[in-house]
């Protein structure tokens, strides 16, 4: 029985797609023999079926990771770093393949989205490799003849990945974990399993030992929940919806494992009357529509000072119309692909209907039959812009996760901050003003983990990323990510030998 399937992608790329579970450096079928189908959201056509992991398969993967930890934790940091560097080279060598697979599986435009996402994986591997031999503890003086030292120890970790950035979001977790000497069981989204499976072959090729990196494809209710509750995992890292994050955190109490969560967002973008309005419109357009709005930090709430409200909307409308071309992901001109699935498509359409019913004014966004430019098939939703929105409207309060933005107005700085913070979420916020004092004052008051000043969604792998409130726990990226994947042990040293 072959655990590979020969495929030809819409752009002509031919390759062998792994369809099994990657456990202990081997491809295996699932215990139940069940498979599930992944669909190209641009065409609504099936791509391939892969094996579906259940609780028993997660147990096998965790056993492999736990066994591997016995030797992997003692491998010198320099050797771990070398393997990570080699893996980064393999990612670059296979960039076209990985980007093509991800474009087909997730609906990302190949040229403007998926290639950049895969490049970021290679970059982050290199960045985190630099920490592998620098996981220092501390020496803490206590008294003349007493001191303490601390050491950092790796963890056996479970990681649960979302569908909106399949390999990129996975790298935010596995890169620092590998650098710290952790062993990993990672579950992809059932909507986008393919690129992580291809990547697993590269991990083996890079020379990582058996059991260090294990991949299971499956559903949250079975495989995901088993990872969260598993008694032999020291930590679970999750990215996804806030509702699912709450379930993960509850399940993790089974053995009080470490938990880090990156959950939902409803990020406000504030435009003040002294802003460069053209730049604000460009950044607001990019920060909202990139990846079809399927981005937890998308600036889906735009708050504009009343004195420049109409001018900003005119500029924003032009920018949206000019910049975002809906089309098939392998069309070089396309900048906006489909949303991920029929379920997501229907959910977004319901939000659009709700916006109209609650009195918001739609100035962009039409039904499919009214836009000849939309492809005949695929889960495509054009950029949709509502204006004159009120604070209590559903489209203002709830995360839509699609190319739909709600624009409101404010009069004073105080009102802007109050409206911006009126949310259960606190992942990101954006401020546009050319007055430095105003920018800094407003930014200090915003309840969000990442504040973009005169930009939007231009994060960097060297800078910590994570949310406030219901947007999550813990910081990924930067040096902070290393702290997520180690446990500190304290040693008290009494050199005086007297009580």
Taking 60 as the threshold, does the pLDDT of residue 370 lie above it? no
Taking 80 as the threshold, does the pLDDT of residue 369 lie above it? no
Q: For residue 497, what pLDDT band results from cuts at 50, 70 and 90? A: confident
- Using CA atoms, how far apart are residues 36 and 19, in angstroms rounded to an integer? 10
- Total Cβ atoms within 10 A of residue 207: 11
pLDDT tens digits, 388-417: 999 999 999 999 999 999 999 999 999 999
Query: Residues 302, 385: contact at Cβ < 8 Å?
Result: no
Taking 50 as the threshold, does the pLDDT of residue 309 lie above it? yes
pLDDT > 70 in the chain, percent: 98
- Using CA atoms, how far apart are residues 75 and 249, in angstroms rounded to an integer? 31
Query: Residues 285, 326: contact at Cβ < 8 Å?
Result: no
In this predicted structure, what is the pLDDT of residue 2?
84
Q: For residue 435, what pLDDT band results from cuts at 50, 70 and 90? A: very high
Sign of CA dihedral 429, 430, 435, 440: positive
Give all strands of the β-sheet with 139-143 in edge-to-edge order: 139-143, 146-154, 486-494
Question: Which is nearest to 403 in space by CA: 340, 462, 448?
Answer: 340
Instruction: Give span(s): CATH 3.40.605.10, the chain.
Output: 4-263+474-488
- Using CA atoms, how far apart are residues 496 and 499, in angstroms rounded to an integer? 9
Q: What is the mean pLDDT of residues 491-495?
A: 92
Q: For residue 107, what pLDDT band results from cuts at 50, 70 and 90? A: very high
Q: What is the mean pLDDT of the chain?
A: 95
- First and final C-alpha spacing in the chain: 68
- Using CA atoms, how far apart are residues 186 and 158, in angstroms rounded to an integer? 6
In this predicted structure, what is the pLDDT of residue 367?
57
Question: Which is nearest to 242 in space by CA: 359, 398, 108, 95?
Answer: 398
pLDDT > 90 in the chain, percent: 94
Q: What is the mean pLDDT of residues 330-349?
A: 95
pLDDT tens digits, 2-42: 899 999 999 999 999 999 999 999 999 999 999 999 999 99
Q: List the beta bridge partners of residue 198.
A: none
Taking 90 as the threshold, does the pLDDT of residue 175 lie above it? yes
Domain 268-460 - what CATH class? alpha beta
pLDDT tens digits, 118-129: 999 999 999 999
> Which residues are CB-neighbours of 90 under 8 A, at least 6 positions away?
202, 205, 206
Taking 60 as the threshold, does the pLDDT of residue 372 lie above it? no
Query: Residue 453: how many CA atoms within 13 Å on its side-chain side?
Result: 13
In this predicted structure, what is the pLDDT of residue 374?
67
Q: For residue 159, what pLDDT band results from cuts at 50, 70 and 90? A: very high
In this predicted structure, what is the pLDDT of residue 423?
97
Q: Which CATH superfamily is domain 4-263+474-488 in?
A: Aldehyde Dehydrogenase; Chain A, domain 1 (3.40.605.10)
Q: What are phi and psi of 269, to 5 degrees?
A: -115, 120
The region of weakest confidence among 325-339, 355-369, 434-448 is 355-369
Give the predicted TM-score (pTM) of the model.
0.95
Two tokens at 261? 């969560």
In this predicted structure, what is the pLDDT of residue 373?
63
**Catalytic residue IDs:** 262
Instruction: Give span(s): CATH 3.40.309.10, the chain.
Output: 268-460
Q: What is the mean pLDDT of residues 254-279?
A: 97
In this predicted structure, what is the pLDDT of residue 317?
95
| Vertex 408: Cα angle to 407 and 412 (nearest 5) | 140
pLDDT tens digits, 57-96: 999 999 999 999 999 999 999 999 999 999 999 999 999 9
């Amino acid at each position: 029985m072959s655990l590979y399937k020969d495929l030809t992608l819409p752009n002509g790329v031919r390759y062998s797609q792994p369809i099994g579970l990657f456990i202990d450096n081997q491809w295996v079928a699932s215990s139940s023999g069940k498979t599930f189908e992944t669909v190209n959201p641009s065409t609504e056509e099936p791509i391939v079926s892969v094996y579906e992991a259940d609780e028993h398969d997660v147990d096998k993967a965790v056993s492999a990771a736990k066994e591997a930890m016995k030797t992997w934790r003692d491998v010198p940091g320099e050797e771990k770093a070398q393997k990570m560097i080699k893996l980064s080279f393999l990612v670059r060598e296979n960039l076209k393949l990985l980007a093509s697979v991800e474009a087909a599986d997730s609906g990302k435009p190949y040229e403007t989205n998926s290639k950049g996402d895969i490049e970021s994986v290679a970059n982050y591997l290199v960045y985190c490799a630099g920490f592998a031999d620098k996981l220092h503890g501390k020496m803490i003086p206590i008294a003349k003849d007493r001191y303490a030292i601390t050491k950092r120890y790796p963890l056996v970790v479970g990681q649960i990945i979302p569908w909106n950035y399949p390999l990129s979001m996975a790298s935010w977790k596995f890169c620092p974990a590998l650098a710290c000497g952790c062993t990993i069981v990672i579950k992809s989204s059932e909507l986008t399993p393919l690129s992580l499976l291809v990547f697993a072959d590269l991990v083996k090729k890079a020379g990582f030992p058996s059991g260090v990196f294990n991949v299971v494809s499956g559903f949250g209710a079975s495989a995901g929940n088993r990872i969260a509750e598993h008694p032999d995992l020291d930590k679970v890292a999750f990215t996804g919806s806030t509702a699912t994050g709450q379930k993960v955190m509850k399940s993790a109490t089974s053995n009080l494992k470490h938990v880090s969560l990156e959950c939902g967002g409803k990020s406000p973008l504030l435009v003040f009357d002294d802003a460069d309005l053209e730049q604000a419109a460009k950044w607001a357009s990019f920060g909202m529509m990139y990846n079809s709005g399927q981005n937890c930090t998308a600036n889906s709430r735009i708050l504009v000072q009343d004195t420049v409200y109409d001018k900003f909307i005119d500029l924003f409308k032009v920018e949206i119309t000019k910049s975002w071309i809906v089309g098939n992901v392998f069309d070089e001109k396309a900048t906006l692909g489909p949303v991920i699935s029929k379920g997501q498509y229907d959910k977004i359409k319901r939000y659009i209907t709700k916006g109209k019913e609650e009195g918001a004014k739609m100035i962009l966004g039409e039904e499919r039959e009214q836009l000849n430019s939309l492809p005949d098939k695929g889960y495509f939703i054009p950029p949709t812009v509502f204006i004159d929105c009120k604070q209590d409207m559903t489209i203002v309060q709830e995360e839509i996760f699609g190319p739909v933005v709600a624009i409101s107005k404010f009069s004073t700085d105080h009102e802007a901050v109050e409206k911006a913070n009126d949310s259960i979420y606190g992942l990101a916020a954006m401020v546009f003003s050319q007055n430095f004092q105003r920018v800094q004052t407003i930014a200090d008051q915003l309840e969000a983990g990442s504040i973009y000043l005169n930009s939007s969604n231009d994060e960097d792998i060297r800078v910590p990323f994570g949310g406030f409130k219901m947007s999550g726990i813990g910081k990924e990226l930067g040096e902070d990510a290393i702290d997520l994947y180690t446990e500190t042990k304290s040693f008290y040293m009494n050199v005086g030998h007297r009580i």
